[in-house]
Chain A
């Protein structure tokens, strides 16, 4: 007696995966991340040193004097003063600062009543102009 055992062959076997739920979930995730990306605002920071007007700028005399930018209100409008010149725009201030020596740093002297946005813009202009040492001085 000959017994031949053949391996089972499945010629027309179909594997069906129900992907509908997974696609639903994937789309939900996609929508969720799109919405949260819009909500989350990217924040950064500016790190000026702080100094009061009553302090000696560096605690010792120096051959170099730091540049002083005044942030104040002129005719009710915020403005930047660098020496005798007055600037209304951050870009103008940055351009003016770029040509100055940077060894001694820059003092941003901020008067009261100026919007915070303008004071921070002055610090940003100084950083963009290449000043590593930026000092915030609250005006008395």
Chain B
């Protein structure tokens, strides 16, 4: 009586890669969409080519104000007038726990080719609200 085991001289083990490929493509689509959103929230501007303060600590962006090359003001992809902008800034100040306008966080992204008339006007009006400082966005040169 012989008990023989089945012998497979050359056995091929196949790993099913289809789910992994599905997941990888999903990841690609996710990152592509996320990149699109990132570009939408940042208006296309020719920012001043400066290295900036180069502080490593992450800082909250706060209210992002875009000053476009044609002098118009854009906030959250919406073109607005200076009066409406001041209202939005005031709302930001009111939302602060301290209510101190010096603590409001503003990031101004101004086109470098634009003249400073709009920026100066904005700063004068922000100052009248009690805002003590603002951050000017720069593009780090390569």
Contacts and interface: CB of A to CB of B under 8 A. Distances in A.
Interface string B7-38: 11111111101001100110010011001001
B99 interface: no
Contacts of B95: none
A115 B112 contact: yes
Given A42-B139, A50-B132, A116 B28 contact: no
A91 interface: no
Given A5-B3, A51-B127, A138-B123, A45 B135 contact: yes
A46 B111 contact: no
Interface string A11-30: 01111111001100100110
A48 B50 contact: no
Contact of B138 (A16, A45, A110): A45
Interface residues of A, number: 55
A107 interface: no
Contacts of B110: 116, 120
Interface residues of B, number: 61
A7 B4 CA distance: 10
A44 B111 CA distance: 14
A25 B24 contact: yes
Nearest to B52: A44
A124 B24 CA distance: 43
A110 B81 CA distance: 22
A7 B1 CA distance: 17
Interface stretch (B72-80, B86-94, B114-122): B114-122
A56 to B, nearest CB: 13
B131 to A, nearest CB: 7
Nearest to A110: B116
Given A17-B13, A50-B133, 11 more contacts: A18-B17, A32-B32, A40-B35, A40-B38, A43-B137, A45-B136, A47-B53, A52-B128, A116-B48, A120-B112, A124-B51
